[in-house]
Structure 1
Amino acid sequence: MHLAREIDTVLLDMDGTLLDLHYDNHFWMEHVPSQYAHKADISLAQAQHYMSAQYAKVAGSLDWYCYDYWSATLGLDIHQLQHQTKHKIQLRSDTLWFLEYLKKSNKRVIMLTNAHRSGIALKMQQCDIRHYFDAIVSSHDYRVAKENRNFWEMAAEQHRIDFKQSLFIDDSEKILQVAQQVGVAYLRGIKTPDSEKPAQEMQFFKGIKLFSELLIEQ
């Protein structure tokens, strides 16, 4: 069994694709609001309501993913807070198997993530998978999120990526649509980014629950 021979580069999102999104959902929806509630001396419900409004203001932009932005906005040290729940950082069930498979198949593997470099460093430390990647690209490197075509153009130029021979996997359909617009030939969505939540359905892209679904018979 193998990936299509035409694919020489595999582009992988991090949170919700390689890593269980439960950590991030817990961190941003529960842990950070609880810390803000304590700081502002308000109820957890009030803090969650306030933060939901703040999240909505910057959704899809680089600030949405930026620890420095949220540290300044909330008056909390997000870089430090992430360590308090790091025990929840976990790989998705067959991530390690898939990365091993790609390594044995001599595929070029590049991570494309909106995560802040501080978050990437902690997650790579916890999961020990950095060595599987030929490059790890953060949208913060280019100061523009993956939801923007400019991210893709800069990543392709810097890392000499031929999108026509690339597979991109992400849990965000909006980001998959941008990848499609710039010419990425093979696209798959993750149906089960958060192990604690029901599977999501993709409207416009083929979705997978496990990486093994990508393989085709010889």
Structure 2
Amino acid sequence: MIDWNQIRTVLLDMDGTLLDLHYDTYFWLTHLPTRYAEVRGLPHEKARDEIHRTIQGLRGSLDWYCLDYWSNRLDMDVGALKSEVQERIGFRAGAQHFLRELRDSHRRVVIVTNAHQTGLDLKIHRTGLDQWVDTIHTTHSFGRPKEDPAFWPELQAQEPFEPEQSLLIDDNHAALRAAETFGIRHLVSVRTPDSQQPPIPGAHWPAVEHFDELLPIGTPEPLY
């Protein structure tokens, strides 16, 4: 699936790629509506529908991922609410082994996530994810999400990489399309980002169920 000799930089999504998306799915579709209904004295279905409509209206924008936006919109500390169910945060199957193999291969490994810094800090605290990679970039530092093609040259200016020698693994098809438009050559999607949901159909790119499908990696040979 991947010719690792062509890869020098590995760009990794976090939620739904390295970490099980079940935590986020549960939070946004179950826990947040429940707590919102409690605070506002609303029927659960009404609270759920209101939040769902807002989610759909923001999809693909940076506000969709921004906990500050949601805290202001709902007049609740959404970052604190995310901590209430933090025990659900966890790696996808095989992710830690894959990260270990990447680290041992001496390639540059970079997480590129749409997660807000508050949520990112919580997940780092729970998983130690930052210990496995060279650095982590959140798109909130750039003011635009990965779905925006203009994000990728801005990332490259801060995190130099050669698109022809880079691999992006991401469960977000819109982000993969934007990266492809920018020129990132090696793209892989994730078949089942949420362990409690069915696989995502219709990936235009090679899709993996388990990271073992991308092994072995090995150390890179010189490129001429």
TM-score when normalising by structure 1? 0.96
CA distance in 1, matches of 2:84, 2:64: 21
Q: Kindly tell me: are residues 102 and 47 of structure 1, through their superposed partners in 2, closer, same or farther at Cα, counting changes over 3 Å?
A: same
Alpha-carbon RMSD across the aligned residues, in angstroms, is 1.4
How far 1:215 moved relative to its partner?
Answer: 3.0
Unaligned runs of 5+ in 2: 219-224
How far 1:198 moved relative to its partner?
Answer: 1.3
In structure 2, give the amino acid aligned to 1:171. Answer: D
1:124 corresponding residue in structure 2? 124
- The answer to whether structure 1 residue 95 and structure 2 residue 95 are counterparts is yes
How far 1:107 moved relative to its partner?
Answer: 1.1
2:45 is paired with a residue whose SS is helix
Residue 168 of structure 2 contacts residue 186 of structure 2 at CA under 8 Å; is this kept in 1?
yes
1:18 corresponding residue in structure 2? 18
1:210 corresponding residue in structure 2? 210
How far 1:211 moved relative to its partner?
Answer: 1.2
1:8 corresponding residue in structure 2? 8
How far 1:150 moved relative to its partner?
Answer: 1.8
CA distance in 2, matches of 1:44, 1:107: 48
1:80 is paired with a residue whose SS is helix
Segment drifting more, 15-24 vs 168-177: 168-177
Q: Kindly tell me: are residues 121 and 217 of structure 1, through their superposed partners in 2, closer, same or farther at Cα, counting changes over 3 Å?
A: closer
1:201 is paired with a residue whose SS is coil
Residue 102 of structure 2 contacts residue 217 of structure 2 at CA under 8 Å; is this kept in 1?
no
Residue 189 of structure 2 contacts residue 203 of structure 2 at CA under 8 Å; is this kept in 1?
no
Q: Kindly tell me: are residues 138 and 217 of structure 1, through their superposed partners in 2, closer, same or farther at Cα, counting changes over 3 Å?
A: closer
How far 1:203 moved relative to its partner?
Answer: 3.2
User: What percent of counterpart residues are identical?
Assistant: 37
Residue 187 of structure 1 contacts residue 205 of structure 1 at CA under 8 Å; is this kept in 2?
yes
In structure 2, give the amino acid aligned to 1:38. Answer: E
2:32 is paired with a residue whose SS is helix
Q: Kindly tell me: are residues 107 and 217 of structure 1, through their superposed partners in 2, closer, same or farther at Cα, counting changes over 3 Å?
A: closer
CA distance in 2, matches of 1:169, 1:60: 18
1:82 corresponding residue in structure 2? 82
CA distance in 2, matches of 1:217, 1:85: 35
In structure 1, give the amino acid aligned to 2:107. Answer: K
CA distance in 2, matches of 1:21, 1:62: 18
How far 1:120 moved relative to its partner?
Answer: 0.7
Alignment of 1:1-218 (within 5 A): 4-215=4-215
CA distance in 1, matches of 2:15, 2:129: 13
In structure 2, give the amino acid aligned to 1:164. Answer: E
Residue 4 of structure 2 contacts residue 217 of structure 2 at CA under 8 Å; is this kept in 1?
no
Unaligned runs of 5+ in 1: none
TM-score when normalising by structure 2? 0.93
Residue 3 of structure 1 contacts residue 214 of structure 1 at CA under 8 Å; is this kept in 2?
no
Q: Which runs of 4+ in 1 moved over 6 A?
A: none
In structure 2, give the amino acid aligned to 1:176. Answer: L
Residues 35-89 of structure 1: CA deviation (Å, up to 9, x unaligned): 1111111111111111111112211000000000000001110111111000000
1:119 is paired with a residue whose SS is helix
How far 1:216 moved relative to its partner?
Answer: 6.0
Residues 98-132 of structure 1: CA deviation (Å, up to 9, x unaligned): 00000111111000000001111110110112122
In structure 1, give the amino acid aligned to 2:100. Answer: E
1:149 is paired with a residue whose SS is coil
Residue 201 of structure 1 contacts residue 207 of structure 1 at CA under 8 Å; is this kept in 2?
no
